[in-house]
Structure 1
Amino acid sequence: MMILVSADMEGVTGVTWPADVLPGASQWERCRRLFTSDVNAAVAGFFDGGADEVVVNEAHWGMRNLLLEELDERARMLTGRHKSLSMVEGVQHGDVDGVAFVGYHTGAGTEGVLAHTYLANSITGVWVGGVRASEGLLNSLVVAEYGVPVVLVTGDDRTCQDARAYAPRARHVAVKDYVSRYAAVCRPPARTAADIRAAAKEAAALAVRHEPVRGGPFTIEVEFDAEHLAGAVTVVPGVERSGERRVSYTSTTMYEGIRCFKAVTTLASAATEEEYG
């Protein structure tokens, strides 16, 4: 049994504000250890549950935040940027039996600690087929096309609530409770590690491949906080304006949909100015 852990940082134990997760910021080094602790707990739990292999895909910011030297020695880690499927890179090779979303968060425009979708501020909302989408929902649609279930989701309580809609059979672990975008009631790492490990052990039993889900075509709409960003991303073939600050496109598969989304967010980021956005 192989488990792929997609590891993000905003939803890990103790993280509540930008300085916790931005490389080089004041609390980033300290929170890297909290990040690694949550991931290690998931890795240990999956091995407890009978996994033969666990691969961790580092999925936060520049994707170089986890501490390899402190990672459970039984795991392997994929780190660095420019991966074909970004946060769920590796699921496409046909050998993954279950996916875990560790340290995830809610989507742009919703309640949740450090809520966003790919870009920290510029995107104010993403919808798939008219349903507001988090990164968890987007990635769940991708892995479903490869017949791989989402078996574990960790993050704040709002993230777990979100995950119950797109991965109802998965195990869900809240490591903190939302107060505001930059505040939470946090559980200590010893407690969250135990909770994550126990949930991952149970989740291993859910790692059973199924028939690929072909849910397309997918119409994806992205709303920005500034009009010029919507204009900038329409250079991507198939992406059209659907409002003053909105664009939309339709993809036959979610594989195509997430890759187009990556192109849109990359261009929007490049078109964002430091002070005015």
Structure 2
Amino acid sequence: MRIMISADMEGATGVTWPDDVEPGTAAWERMRRFLTGDVNACVSGLFAGGATEVLVNEAHCTQRNVLIEELDDRATLLTGRHKPLGMMHGVQDADGVVMLGYHTGAGEEGVLAHTYLGMGLVGFRIDGEDADEGRMNALVAAEHGVPVLLVTGDDLTCAAAARWAPGARTAAVKQAVSRYAAVCLPPARSAALIEAEARAAAAAAGAAGRPAAAPAEHHYEVTFHATHQAAAVEAVPTVERTGPRTIAYTAPTATDGARTFKVCTTVAASSAEEHYG
């Protein structure tokens, strides 16, 4: 049984502040070890539950955050940017996926809540429902016939996962107090929690088998904080501007939808000015 871990960072143990996840800062260097600890706890649990292969796909920012020298040597690491399926690359060959260190979406309560852009994107909907990175990635996984087995992050992320991955287990490593504050479990306790949930998730996945793939058309709407971002993104093929700050597009598959979303957010980010956004 092959499992892919999509490892983000905002939802990792101890992380509460932008510097904690900003590459190059002293806080990020420290939090890399906590992220790696969460990953190792998950890897250990997955193998104990019956996994035979585990691929860790780095999914945060520059996608070079996990300390490979401290990684459980039974796993392999997909590190670095520009992967065809981005945060979900590897799911096409997996029997199950773990979304580790995930967070809530833009405009929502939760530690470091955002969707792709740290700021600038204020609303995101898929098929008329409020969405975040987890929902978008879960649709990609479903399209490849791969179940979401486990979601880790703060308590609000775990609650949100019940809506877009109702069959997944969850591990809340912290309770959100605000966007920049949380009541956090110490690393040893969060590791024990993640390992236990990963073991149970893998064992259940082995018994349940793999669901059928379900590709389908999806409609995406993105609202930015300023009009010039929507104007810039309107140049992306298939995208139309539906309001002063909102764009929309329809994609034939969830994979195409996620790829177009990445293009839109990249263009929006490049149009932003340092002080005025």
Q: Does TM, scored on the shorter chain, surpass 0.5?
A: yes
Q: CA RMSD in A?
A: 0.8
When normalised by structure 1's length, the TM-score is 0.97
Q: 1:38-187 to 2 correspondence within 5 Å?
A: 38-92=38-92, 95-187=93-185
Which amino acid letter does the alignment assign opposite residue 130 of structure 1?
G
Give the Cα–Cα distance (whole angstroms) in 1 for the partners of residues 18 and 162 of structure 2.
26
Which amino acid letter does the alignment assign opposite residue 213 of structure 1?
A
Q: Per-residue deviation at 1:63?
A: 0.3
Give the Cα–Cα distance (whole angstroms) in 2 for the partners of residues 205 and 97 of structure 1.
12
Give the Cα–Cα distance (whole angstroms) in 2 for the partners of residues 76 and 223 of structure 1.
37
Corresponding position of 2:193:
195
CA contact (8 A) 1:98 1:206 kept: no
Corresponding position of 2:21:
21
SS in structure 1 of the partner of residue 102 of structure 2: coil
Corresponding position of 2:213:
212
Which amino acid letter does the alignment assign opposite residue 13 of structure 2?
T
The CA deviation string for residues 33-77 of structure 1, in whole angstroms up to 9 with x for no partner, is: 000000100000000111100000000001011100000000000
After superposing the two structures, state which structure 1 stretch, 54-63 or 20-29, moved more. Answer: 20-29
CA contact (8 A) 1:160 1:173 kept: yes
Q: Which runs of 4+ in 1 moved over 6 A?
A: none
Q: Per-residue deviation at 1:172?
A: 0.3
Give the Cα–Cα distance (whole angstroms) in 2 for the partners of residues 114 and 102 of structure 1.
15
Give the Cα–Cα distance (whole angstroms) in 2 for the partners of residues 209 and 125 of structure 1.
33
Which amino acid letter does the alignment assign opposite residue 100 of structure 1?
V
Q: Per-residue deviation at 1:130?
A: 1.1
Identical-residue share of aligned pairs (%): 59
Corresponding position of 2:33:
33
The CA deviation string for residues 71-108 of structure 1, in whole angstroms up to 9 with x for no partner, is: 0000000001111111000112xx31000000000000
Give the Cα–Cα distance (whole angstroms) in 2 for the partners of residues 276 and 195 of structure 1.
42
The CA deviation string for residues 116-149 of structure 1, in whole angstroms up to 9 with x for no partner, is: 0011001111100111111000000001001000
Q: Per-residue deviation at 1:206?
A: 3.4
Give the Cα–Cα distance (whole angstroms) in 1 for the partners of residues 40 and 157 of structure 2.
20
Give the Cα–Cα distance (whole angstroms) in 2 for the partners of residues 38 and 239 of structure 1.
38
Q: Per-residue deviation at 1:205?
A: 2.4
Which amino acid letter does the alignment assign opposite residue 229 of structure 2?
L
Q: Per-residue deviation at 1:26?
A: 3.1
Which amino acid letter does the alignment assign opposite residue 47 of structure 1?
F
Count of residue correspondences: 274
Corresponding position of 2:6:
6
Give the Cα–Cα distance (whole angstroms) in 2 for the partners of residues 206 and 165 of structure 1.
19
Give the Cα–Cα distance (whole angstroms) in 1 for the partners of residues 276 and 65 of structure 2.
28
Give the Cα–Cα distance (whole angstroms) in 1 for the partners of residues 203 and 241 of structure 2.
44
Which amino acid letter does the alignment assign opposite residue 257 of structure 1?
G
SS in structure 2 of the partner of residue 222 of structure 1: strand
Q: Per-residue deviation at 1:252?
A: 1.1
Which amino acid letter does the alignment assign opposite residue 231 of structure 2?
G
